[in-house]
Copies of this chain bind each other. A is one copy, B any other.
Amino acid sequence: MRLSRYLPILDWGRHYSREAATGDLVAALIVTIMLIPQSLAYALLAGLPPQMGLYASILPLVAYAVFGTSRALAVGPVAVISLMTAAAVGKLALPGTEAYATAAITLAFMSGLILVAMGLLRLGFLANFLSHPVIAGFITASGLLIALSQVATLLGIPGGGQTLPEMLSRLAGNLGAVNPWTLAVGAAATAFLFWVRKGLKPALIRLGLAPRPADLLAKAGPVAAVAATAAAAWAFDLGARGVALVGEVPRGLPPLTLPSFDPAVWAALAGSALLISVIGFVESVSVAQTLAAKKRQRIVPDQELIGLGAANLAAGVSSGYPVTGGFARSVVNYDAGAETPAAGAFAAVGLLAAASFLTPLLFYLPKATLAATIIVAVLSLVDLGVLRRTWTYAKADFAAVAVTILVTLGIGVEAGVLAGVTLSVVLFLWKSSRPHIAEVGLVPGTQHFRNVLRHKVHTVPEVLTIRVDESLWFANARFLEDAILDRVAADSPVQHVVLMCSAVNAIDMSALESLEAINARLRDMGVTLHLSEVKGPVMDRLERTHFLKDLTGRVFLSQYDAAAALGALPPGADPAPDARPRAAE
């Protein structure tokens, strides 16, 4: 049991079925076809020789398959991490030099160490601070950015840019250069893939196929698009007509290497390695969680850290560079039917085979076909309806979604996630610092107390019962002081104040000092302070202080007991036993 905690492969590997293998193999094939040109492109983005992208897509995938918990995450070079690698390594060496490549390898190794350390220290709970609104906003915005980044390829024009405004302005500037042949291939592939997604399976079933082979055939749709467009490109010599093809891919197995152990290089890269690790984990975990939730599966964030760390360590000893779970790629992997992490290992084998044998066949593949595959995959993740749903439900959640989307589109993915998380936490702290405070009275015929403003309840002018709907802590301690003292000062007949603590889950030192101040000031006014329904853990704390001795009134087990003892029950009500000791749960 303990071993399978750290080696999830022992868990899913035991029940590995033929159906899972079929799904994994199909997914691996499609991911392989996607991954070859992506790896090359992202390595160039990182300022590295293209084959390093391929190397980063072989051993790291096997390592993640052994240690990772997500059944759909496709690990490898990704755009954001490639850009961050270029920025980090560019501080140390010039692109194209050996020192530059070594630094990138070292960065992957350091990032692996950091991730494994975080995993062993169980820091994965930090991912819980990525709220649903932030994840939803991040995925929607990233989907838009990825799709838009592929539109240029689809049109056969130069694209690029990191943000929505940049991308739109470059697209607009180059619209005159649209290549009609590329557009034809891209539009046909996109239309075909959308039809495959929505219409093929029902059509096949109508033609008499059983649902299972219909599903499998529908999942092979992208492969068919790749084969058909590559054949068309060869037959009509589309390369000569300006259609961008994948072209010649360098061949070779990943050479095993060691990272640099120069302390100066480590010191220079430490900050970047930490940032890349955290961003990579956060991005990867949000993708993994979204895909896991769709199948009611669970990912284990602490083990994900170890899985991603192992993948980066593998990249660091096999001439790779930093990797993480890819966004579009994982979606394609999921959509293509990946059932277990084995899909990643199969994709590694596929990549190895492709790099050795199949590259000539990929020569004629139009890049527009790959762009179409990505667009169709990521557009299904774009969910702008989340803006409306959160607006209706709670403005704080809406703000988190909106800020995440806007910052991701306008500034970048890391900034978007960080802005969303920061805003969510700040809004939570802000709300906790101004709690809802209700004056309550007895619901007739029950022993239940509710807000006087919302219910017909019984109260007496001498007894003021206040329910604070928040734990008492430093950010709201003074707010409580003001609220209670203002309320009592404005109402002279009050003889007793009962603080109903059913919603007070904790009282910290600052709040305790505020309670002491409230008790002392009410005593000066001739008013007695009581507590009711104090919870066990809170009472345990209070009993270790002198507050209960200084308290002018009593601590009642229930609010009904308090009302009975203070004469606040309506005539004829069941008198509660009043002789209970100061007790709490």
A435: chain B residues within 8 A (beta carbon): 505
The CA of A390 and the CA of B509, in the complex, are separated in Å by 7
A394 within 8 A of B: yes
Within 8 A of B (CB), among A420-463: 424-425, 428-429, 431-433, 435-436, 438, 443, 445-448, 450-451, 454-455
Contact status of A585 and B505, CB under 8 A, knowing A393-B545, A446-B560, A475-B128 = no
Copy tally for this chain in the complex stands at 2
Within 8 A of B (CB), among A533-585: 535-537, 541, 544-545, 557-558, 560-561, 576-577, 584-585
Residue of B nearest to A500 (CB): B502
Partner of A469, one of B129, B429, B505, B508: B505
A47 within 8 A of B: no
A397 within 8 A of B: yes
Partner of A443, one of B431, B506, B557: B557
Assess whether B424 is in contact with A474, with CB atoms less than 8 Å apart: yes
Assess whether A508 is in contact with B429, with CB atoms less than 8 Å apart: no
Assess whether B475 is in contact with A129, with CB atoms less than 8 Å apart: yes
Assess whether A393 is in contact with B512, with CB atoms less than 8 Å apart: yes
Within 8 A of B (CB), among A105-138: 125, 128-133
Assess whether B585 is in contact with A397, with CB atoms less than 8 Å apart: no
A86 within 8 A of B: no
A560: chain B residues within 8 A (beta carbon): 446-448
Residue of B nearest to A469 (CB): B505
A473 within 8 A of B: yes
Residue of B nearest to A513 (CB): B132
Assess whether A509 is in contact with B131, with CB atoms less than 8 Å apart: yes
Least Cβ–Cβ distance between A499 and chain B, in angstroms: 15
A535: chain B residues within 8 A (beta carbon): 436, 469, 503
A478 within 8 A of B: yes
Residue of B nearest to A451 (CB): B585
A510 within 8 A of B: yes
Contact status of A428 and B541, CB under 8 A, knowing A390-B509, A451-B536 = no
Contact status of A509 and B397, CB under 8 A, knowing A446-B576, A537-B436, A560-B448 = yes
Assess whether A508 is in contact with B131, with CB atoms less than 8 Å apart: yes
A451: chain B residues within 8 A (beta carbon): 536, 585
A17 within 8 A of B: no
The CA of A560 and the CA of B509, in the complex, are separated in Å by 34
Interface size, A (range): 35 or more
Assess whether A129 is in contact with B576, with CB atoms less than 8 Å apart: no
The CA of A58 and the CA of B432, in the complex, are separated in Å by 41
A476 within 8 A of B: yes
Type the 1/0 row for A321-353, where 1 means its CB is closer than 8 Å to any CB of B. Answer: 000000000000000000000000000000000
Within 8 A of B (CB), among A388-416: 389-390, 392-394, 396-397
Assess whether A429 is in contact with B436, with CB atoms less than 8 Å apart: no
A131: chain B residues within 8 A (beta carbon): 473-475, 508-510
Residue of B nearest to A431 (CB): B506
Assess whether A585 is in contact with B394, with CB atoms less than 8 Å apart: no
Least Cβ–Cβ distance between A542 and chain B, in angstroms: 9
Type the 1/0 row for A461-480, where 1 means its CB is closer than 8 Å to any CB of B. Answer: 00000000111011111110
Least Cβ–Cβ distance between A395 and chain B, in angstroms: 11
Assess whether A133 is in contact with B509, with CB atoms less than 8 Å apart: yes
Type the 1/0 row for A160-204, where 1 means its CB is closer than 8 Å to any CB of B. Answer: 000000000000000000000000000000000000000000000
Assess whether A447 is in contact with B450, with CB atoms less than 8 Å apart: no
Assess whether A455 is in contact with B585, with CB atoms less than 8 Å apart: yes
Contact status of A396 and B557, CB under 8 A, knowing A446-B576, A585-B450 = no
Assess whether B508 is in contact with A396, with CB atoms less than 8 Å apart: yes
Assess whether B474 is in contact with A505, with CB atoms less than 8 Å apart: no
Assess whether B445 is in contact with A478, with CB atoms less than 8 Å apart: no
A425: chain B residues within 8 A (beta carbon): 429
Partner of A132, one of B130, B471, B506, B510: B510
The CA of A447 and the CA of B576, in the complex, are separated in Å by 10
The CA of A575 and the CA of B325, in the complex, are separated in Å by 57
Least Cβ–Cβ distance between A221 and chain B, in angstroms: 31
Least Cβ–Cβ distance between A512 and chain B, in angstroms: 7
A392: chain B residues within 8 A (beta carbon): 544-545
Assess whether A505 is in contact with B436, with CB atoms less than 8 Å apart: yes
Least Cβ–Cβ distance between A155 and chain B, in angstroms: 37
Least Cβ–Cβ distance between A422 and chain B, in angstroms: 12
Partner of A447, one of B448, B455, B504: B448
Contact status of A429 and B397, CB under 8 A, knowing A443-B557, A474-B424, A560-B446 = no
Q: List 29 A-B contacts (CB under 8 A).
A: A125-B433, A128-B433, A128-B474, A128-B477, A129-B474, A129-B475, A133-B474, A133-B509, A133-B510, A394-B508, A394-B509, A397-B509, A428-B432, A428-B473, A428-B475, A432-B471, A438-B585, A446-B447, A446-B558, A446-B561, A446-B576, A447-B448, A448-B558, A454-B536, A454-B585, A469-B535, A470-B471, A502-B502, A502-B503
Closest 9 CB pairs of A and B: A131-B474, A447-B447, A397-B509, A132-B510, A448-B558, A469-B505, A450-B585, A451-B585, A502-B502
